[in-house]
Structure 1
């Protein structure tokens, strides 16, 4: 169970200021978060009944290598080249 002292220590580590009036709410919220995390942790990951409740599956295609452009085709519309590369002007 998280206490006011725990909240103050966490706030100090995070370099946050916490008013005394906020301690009750923050303590309650932190305990609810931890309780929720405990509930999630207690669920068995081996239960496949919930692994695909919508019946969806990935539809993937095989990768197929297709021909690309030649170096000359890539550089055809370039403003400036050195024969095999783009030449880019240096900006100051």
Structure 2
């Protein structure tokens, strides 16, 4: 098992990443970081092995396909129906309070 990383090293890495860690978290990560780095190294080795370049890149672990539906025109609301629930309307438009000063 790799040796733990010092609390000061973990604190330095946390400051570089702009992560605020408690004392307990600094101690815990000091013990866990070597294992995390070992796992990352294992993954890097697997990617760099001969034949690893033959694998097709993918964005999901399961094959997915985009499902399209036919674009069918359906009737919409008339202007009067759309504005029926509006608190205020003017010239077939929603009337909203002005939020910006006149320029």
TM-score category, normalised to shorter length = 0.5 to 0.7
> What is the aligned counterpart of 2:77 among 69, 74, 81?
69
CA RMSD of aligned residues (A): 3.9
TM-score (norm 1): 0.52
What are the ranges of 5 or more consecutive residues in structure 2 without an aligned counterpart? 99-103
How far apart are residue 15 of structure 1 and its match?
Answer: 4.6
Q: TM-score, normalised by structure 2?
A: 0.49
Q: Counterpart in 1 of 2:37?
A: 34
Secondary structure of the residue that 1:66 maps to in structure 2?
Answer: coil
SS of the aligned residue for 1:69 comes to coil
The SS at the match of 1:32 is helix
- Give the CA deviation at 1:61: 1.8
1:31 Cα deviation from its structure 2 partner: 1.2
Which contiguous aligned blocks of 4+ residues in structure 1 show a shift greater than 6 angstroms? 50-53
Whole-Å separation in 2 of the counterparts to 1:16 and 1:78: 50
Aligned residues: 85
Query: Secondary structure of the equivalent of 1:58?
Result: coil
Does the 8 Å contact 1:75/1:81 carry over to 2? yes
